[in-house]
Amino acid sequence: MRLTGEMLIGASSVPASEGTMKALNPATGELIAPEFALGGPAEVDRAARLADEAFDSYNGTGIEERAAFLDLVADRLDGIRAELAERASLETGLPAAQFEAEAAKAAGQFRQFADVVRQGRFRHAAVDPAQPERQPRPRLDHRMQKIAIGPVAVFGASNFPISYSVAGGDTASALAAGCPVIVKAHNAHPGTSELMGRAIQGAVADSGLHEGVFSFVRGAGNEIGEALVDHPLIKAVTFTGSEAGGMALYRRAQLRPDPIPVFAEMTSVNPTFVLPAALAARGGEIGDGFAERMLVNVGQACLKPAVLLAVDGPGYAAMREAAAARVSAMGARTMLTPGIHDAYERGARRLRDSGAAAVAEGPEPEGAWEGRTRLLEVDGDRFLADPSLAEEVFGPAALLVRLSGPEQLLEVARSFRGQLSATMHLDEEDHAHAVRLLPVLERRTGRIVVNAFAHPQEVGHATIHGGPFPATTDSRFTSVGMTAIDRFLRPVTYQGFPDALLPEALAAGNPLGLWRLVDGHVTRD
């Protein structure tokens, strides 16, 4: 597929209205062709109007029609997998092999959501049949299903240029819900984005859907994003990135005359608690495993385990040494963008300025935007005294927290803000500790992991990739996994409808064979 650098608005390829940009290869510092078109509010308005026009027909698609479209997107992504991986590698400086896997995962998500659509449970269909004899007054027939919330704006992330980008889980789940999507791609990987955008655009056309079901815009600065969040026809926003970026969009959306949901997945240090028996039994193994996962993707992952906590005691030194050895041995690697590299250096300095001591460092970087690996350490008192030590440093650094005892472990656990995940390493003798720690973690995270590391992410029915603020702006939902679709649905009751006018999912005789709640009972009848 030839990259033209255009934006994609409905079926059209759209040239620049606000200048152009080139992609950067952060490994070489070279700018890469072609020129990518930049747009602004005019392109957003055109895309939003098309999305609005597409809404009724796309929200009204039958289950099989919508599922087949999602499968076709998956096929199209599979068809360009090598090309995608190669371009993503060029635009990130990371190896192409990992992007082959990421592209396969992205296609897989579309197929999984196609299955979710086919199963129809996303409708949450409920039927309270008429009870003409009920006292003191009869009950009329009530039926409920969920429908799409409206056109959705998706802001792609920098760190996973395929699976959290144009063809990522946000786009897949919003399309599965019946929402037209407008993607504002991250400028760190404009070519990768265009390839995915053309794949989806092609699938829309070949499925005979309204062209407004998908658009893809690009812009410099904040203006285009603000135009998306402000547009009255946009009804929900997703974002993956920094707390500052996410909160800017969130606050702006809440100041609209009609506030809309913003699902921003922002920041998490994914604390890892090592309980005493596990520490004594296998501190070294845990320290090594922790450091290995911390360094994946040059530490640029939302699920990077960034804080390792244990009560000082048997196994602590072994854990510390193993983590230090792994960190020292790992060479510096190119980070995603110059800006991310600079923020990483500032963050690492901040940890030291807050009293964290250097335990280990990797070799001095050679390239300009390479991130040097780092392990720091602090004691529990200091950690509690300075909340900035619990803030994310995006990149290959981690903090070891040496605790004075089990009570301090609980106190430190309570001090964390909301997290995407938390981990407990434990043995059976640790269960009494774990039982006390568990409710503290439940209130603060969307996922609790035992004896493993949170990363990499599953995409399943029981997957939650979310959590209390500031991990996300809405702890009631997930951005990854099959229930991510729930973000884009809202319920409607149909009361006293004649059969001929009822939506398919609520029709008499349950022609789709859905699981429904009938008079409060789960049934497929």
Measured from the CB atom, is 254 or 388 closer to a second copy? 254
User: Least separation, in Å, of the C-beta of 137 and a second copy?
Assistant: 8
Measured from the CB atom, is 329 or 452 closer to a second copy? 452
Tokens read off for 131: 């009870």
Distances, alpha carbon 463 to alpha carbons 6, 263, 444, 467, 478, in Å: 36, 16, 16, 12, 8
Maximal C-alpha separation, the chain: 81
At residue 359, the 3 state secondary structure works out as strand
Measured from the CB atom, is 244 or 435 closer to a second copy? 435
φ, ψ (nearest 5 deg) of residue 21: -145, 165
Alpha helices in 154-275 (DSSP H): 169-177, 190-206, 223-230, 243-254
How far is the C-alpha of 466 from the C-alpha of 341, rounded, in Å? Answer: 25
Using the 8-state DSSP alphabet, how is residue 508 labeled?
T
Report the candidate in 187, 197, 179 with the shortest Cα–Cα distance to residue 10. 197
User: Least separation, in Å, of the C-beta of 422 and a second copy?
Assistant: 10
Query: Which residue in the list 302, 370, 377, 392 is annotated as catalytic?
Result: 302
How far is the C-alpha of 209 from the C-alpha of 200, rounded, in Å? Answer: 11
User: Least separation, in Å, of the C-beta of 124 and a second copy?
Assistant: 8
Measured from the CB atom, is 24 or 237 closer to a second copy? 237
CB neighbours of residue 254 within 10 Å: 13
How far is the C-alpha of 510 from the C-alpha of 279, rounded, in Å? Answer: 55
User: Least separation, in Å, of the C-beta of 172 and a second copy?
Assistant: 16
Measured from the CB atom, is 355 or 503 closer to a second copy? 503
Angle made by CA atoms 445, 389, 329, in degrees to the nearest 5? 95
Report the candidate in 174, 175, 186, 171 with the shortest Cα–Cα distance to residue 106. 171
User: Least separation, in Å, of the C-beta of 410 and a second copy?
Assistant: 12
User: Least separation, in Å, of the C-beta of 209 and a second copy?
Assistant: 16
Measured from the CB atom, is 64 or 458 closer to a second copy? 458
Measured from the CB atom, is 216 or 488 closer to a second copy? 488
- Are the C-beta atoms of 302 and 354 separated by less than 8 Å? no
User: Least separation, in Å, of the C-beta of 419 and a second copy?
Assistant: 11
Query: Which residue in the list 91, 265, 370, 392 is annotated as catalytic?
Result: 265
Which residue has tokens 């229930």? 483
179 as an active site residue: the answer is no
Distances, alpha carbon 439 to alpha carbons 410, 443, 445, in Å: 10, 6, 10
Name the amino acid, one letter, at 451.
Answer: N
- Are the C-beta atoms of 303 and 421 separated by less than 8 Å? yes
Count, residues in the chain? 525
Sign of the dihedral through C-alpha 484, 458, 68, 155: positive
Name the amino acid, one letter, at 64.
Answer: E
> What do you get for the CA distance between the two ends of the chain, in Å?
48
Strand 333-334 to 272-274 pairing: unpaired
265 as an active site residue: the answer is yes
Name the amino acid, one letter, at 75.
Answer: D
Measured from the CB atom, is 368 or 450 closer to a second copy? 450
Which residue has tokens 């033209």? 4
Measured from the CB atom, is 200 or 482 closer to a second copy? 482
User: Least separation, in Å, of the C-beta of 269 and a second copy?
Assistant: 16
User: Least separation, in Å, of the C-beta of 471 and a second copy?
Assistant: 11
Residues 322-346 as b/e (b if ≥16 CB within 10 A, e otherwise) read: bbbbbbbebebbbbbbeebbebbbe
Using the 8-state DSSP alphabet, how is residue 472 labeled?
B
The residues that are catalytic are 265, 302
